[in-house]
Structure 1
Amino acid sequence: MSSLPALARQQRGVALFVSLMLLIVTTLLGVAGIRSVSLEEKMAANSFDRNLAFQAAEAALREAEKYAEDNKPTPSYTDSTANSCPTNPNVINNCTNGICPKADSDCTPRWESASGFTGWTNASASLGTLAGNAPQYFIEYLGSEFQCTDGGASDPKNCKRYRITARSNPGTGRATVMLQSIYATN
């Protein structure tokens, strides 16, 4: 029985060391789990924000298409810079009632203009305060020299075409989505 105290003297502090190691491993696993959950939460929030922005931009796009269908607008002016890319803000922003003249495909798009495009129209369609500011759109008149058919009719006729650009405008630091469609009316 005298060997028991000798054995206890040899193992002094081992239980403390093992328990501290297990505590460190458990803490590291907990921290890694929290970081993983935090990252997944951020990804889910960004995905939700992008979906709201997409829905807002799509609502503005549909509103602009309805406006084009109901009004079939034609700009009452011509673009005097048809053969060159405009740099003057007055030319870039020469939109009337949300209708802009046809842009040259070789030029910088209006919304990327260094002088700033201000021809956006606020859409009345909104997803509430979750989506941020009202989505916006503008319509570019592409002309009426396009051929189209009327629901299967054999005689082609001229129809008007519009390029509609819509964007969500949620605010700084939030997902922004821009959509375009080509819309034809007769």
Structure 2
Amino acid sequence: MNRSYALSLQQQRGAVLLVSLMILLIMTVLGIAGMSSTTMEEKMAANNQQRQQAYQAAETALRDAEAWLTNNVTAIGDLANFSGANGLYSLQETASGAAVNPPTFNLYDNSAWQSNGVASLSLLDNQDTPRYIIEYMGPTEDPAGLNPNDPVPVVMYAFRITAIGWSVDGTSRYLAWSHYTRRLN
């Protein structure tokens, strides 16, 4: 019995070692490829999270601006506030002979927002405060007719709200626009 065992060891000549090393090499390559894929997925998830934070901040600023319009612009005389200061601009005359005051800063410049935009509520700690501007676009007739029984066309006043939000780490920003119309007395 010892004699046949000794003969079989002499005949193998390292084939098992070679096959084992090949399998180990293949497993190592597969492991490295899997780790690279996981690292890329983690980066994509982190980038998506930053973008979502910036998006939520910009949407919060839009809602804040809409609430400001609802509470502070109730009469035609309130349009005089759109003088190019405090984040309120006008693209149309607010009264006969009034100056038109469009925004003159670059909407894509973060530092310009700090001095020209109105601060909104911040959602997260250590996040730059989202900001917004409101532009008066002018009067418009309501094409849908809020009241179909009303024979006189309804005059609505249009505003464009532009808001910006940043992620917590500041690497992502999101610009959002909203159009808002309302009746004024």
Equivalenced residue count is 164
Contact in 1 for aligned 2:137/2:159 (Cα 8 Å): yes
Letter in 1 for 2:152: D
User: For residues 133 and 39 of structure 1, what CA distance do their matches in structure 2 show?
Assistant: 27
2:74 matches 1:74: no
Query: TM-score, length-normalised on structure 2?
Result: 0.73
Equivalent position SS for 1:141: strand
Deviation at 1:140, TM superposition (A): 0.8
Q: Could you tell me the percent identity over the aligned residues?
A: 35
2:95 matches 1:101: no
User: For residues 155 and 67 of structure 2, what CA distance do their matches in structure 1 show?
Assistant: 19
Q: Would the alpha carbon gap of residues 27 and 112 (structure 1) be closer, same or farther in structure 2, given more than 3 Å must change? A: closer
Deviation at 1:172, TM superposition (A): 6.1
2:20 matches 1:19: yes
Q: What are structure 2's unaligned runs of at least 5 residues?
A: 93-99
Greater shift in the superposed pair: 145-154 or 27-36: 145-154
Greater shift in the superposed pair: 149-158 or 61-70: 149-158
1:90 aligns to what? none
CA RMSD of aligned residues (A): 3.1
1:138 aligns to what? 133
User: For residues 168 and 51 of structure 1, what CA distance do their matches in structure 2 show?
Assistant: 10
Letter in 2 for 1:165: T
Contact in 2 for aligned 1:75/1:141 (Cα 8 Å): no
Alignment of 1:91-170 (within 5 A): 95-102=84-91, 110-112=106-108, 116=112, 118-124=115-121, 126-129=122-125, 132-143=127-138, 145-148=139-142, 151-152=146-147, 153-170=150-167
Q: Would the alpha carbon gap of residues 28 and 77 (structure 1) be closer, same or farther in structure 2, given more than 3 Å must change? A: closer
User: For residues 173 and 20 of structure 1, what CA distance do their matches in structure 2 show?
Assistant: 48
